[in-house]
Chains A and B, each alone.
Chain A
């Protein structure tokens, strides 16, 4: 086995879609290396391929060509069961629209990713409370999502994404639905997590948000533009 230099290595990755009879190339060709503990911003306009790249990185979208290697695992060479385990062990995802289950409490939403891990109920409870404490929502554990503000809902989404201690946190426009003050709070939380060792890859079209990341990758028309 050749030991890679980085936690994440994306090599010659491309993704084509068929739109009717037309072949559309969402990602033409990309080579990206991301080290453990980096905070990387992926910036580009709508349709530039940045969200496609994020889903490929998360093991959710098989690329048409190329390889994605995370911690020596060539993730699209894994079986579907192994890839599901990979997502559970390595990846936490924060969506722009939070994707919280409205009829579950905050704590129950956070426990969801642990449902398939086989952890004991007591351990799950402890981990959920620990992560709620980390995002500053320990006093709102039993509320429903619609009883929270947008910023609080985003923090619940972040808590849910990190509850399994994944090494990689993928954030798709995490501040897209928030006002600038709340967005600032969420970014501060992400920076804090990064300081504690979390690798964060954040997709955004907002240059202001990328200012907080350690490195920014610009994507344009399915290619790296700088």
Chain B
């Protein structure tokens, strides 16, 4: 029998690494690491983004003198105010909660705006936004 170079091509390619015999240990380590990092990323990244985006937010809670109901048009106008993220009223409509970025605006500026719009209001509380959201969540669970 004479030597035929094609006869053992598959074996030769395995030895030379042209033809791989499944995934190597290094590749497996890389895949598993990637899964852990990406999986962890899915958990950590949204929390981090949420944390950073609410880092400087405070909530100021107002009521009108005489416990009047806040008009819907007035509440919706708050969205255009510099530094204000949102304004909502509670279910009874008597409490106005203004979420604002304390690095851009402050409660005196918000109080001035309310006064200019013709409302006599009292600030009941100023609280960290995340803390208030957490409190609402706990109350909802109860």
Minimum distance in angstroms from A202 CB to a CB of chain B: 17
Judging by beta carbons under 8 Å apart, are A78 and B5 in contact? Answer: no
B115 at the interface (CB under 8 A from A): no
In Å, the complex CA distance between A158 and B86 comes to 82
In Å, the complex CA distance between A36 and B17 comes to 23
In Å, the complex CA distance between A72 and B4 comes to 11
Judging by beta carbons under 8 Å apart, are A37 and B14 in contact? Answer: no
Judging by beta carbons under 8 Å apart, are A118 and B17 in contact? Answer: no
In Å, the complex CA distance between A4 and B4 comes to 10
Judging by beta carbons under 8 Å apart, are B11 and A90 in contact? Answer: yes
> Which residue of chain A is the closest to B10 with respect to CB atoms?
A89
Q: A78-B15, A82-B16, A85-B15 are in contact. Are A167 and B21 (CB under 8 A)?
A: no
Judging by beta carbons under 8 Å apart, are B15 and A82 in contact? Answer: yes
Judging by beta carbons under 8 Å apart, are A117 and B3 in contact? Answer: no
Q: A35-B1, A35-B3, A36-B3 are in contact. Are A117 and B21 (CB under 8 A)?
A: yes
B42 at the interface (CB under 8 A from A): no
Judging by beta carbons under 8 Å apart, are A6 and B3 in contact? Answer: yes
A197 at the interface (CB under 8 A from B): yes
B47 at the interface (CB under 8 A from A): no
Of the candidates B2, B7, B8, the one having the most CB atoms from chain A within 10 angstroms of its own CB is B8
Judging by beta carbons under 8 Å apart, are B2 and A86 in contact? Answer: no
Give the secondary structure class of B's interface: loop
In Å, the complex CA distance between A6 and B21 comes to 27
Judging by beta carbons under 8 Å apart, are A167 and B12 in contact? Answer: no
Count residues of chain A with CB under 8 A from any CB of chain B.
22
Residues of A1-50 whose CB lies within 8 A of B: 3-7, 35-38
B80 at the interface (CB under 8 A from A): no
Q: A36-B7, A37-B1 are in contact. Are A73 and B15 (CB under 8 A)?
A: yes
B22 at the interface (CB under 8 A from A): yes
Contacts of B2 in A (CB 8 A): 35-36
Minimum distance in angstroms from A78 CB to a CB of chain B: 7
Contacts of A89 in B (CB 8 A): 11, 14-15
A108 at the interface (CB under 8 A from B): no
A71 at the interface (CB under 8 A from B): yes
In Å, the complex CA distance between A5 and B5 comes to 9
In Å, the complex CA distance between A5 and B2 comes to 8
Residues of A173-206 whose CB lies within 8 A of B: 197
Q: List 10 A-B contacts (CB under 8 A).
A: A6-B3, A35-B1, A36-B3, A36-B4, A71-B5, A71-B11, A72-B5, A72-B12, A73-B15, A167-B8
Interface residues, chain B, with chain A CB atoms under 8 Å away: 1-5, 7-8, 11-12, 14-17, 21-22
Q: What 4 additional pairs, Cβ within 8 angstroms, besides A36-B3, A85-B15?
A: A7-B3, A35-B1, A82-B16, A167-B7
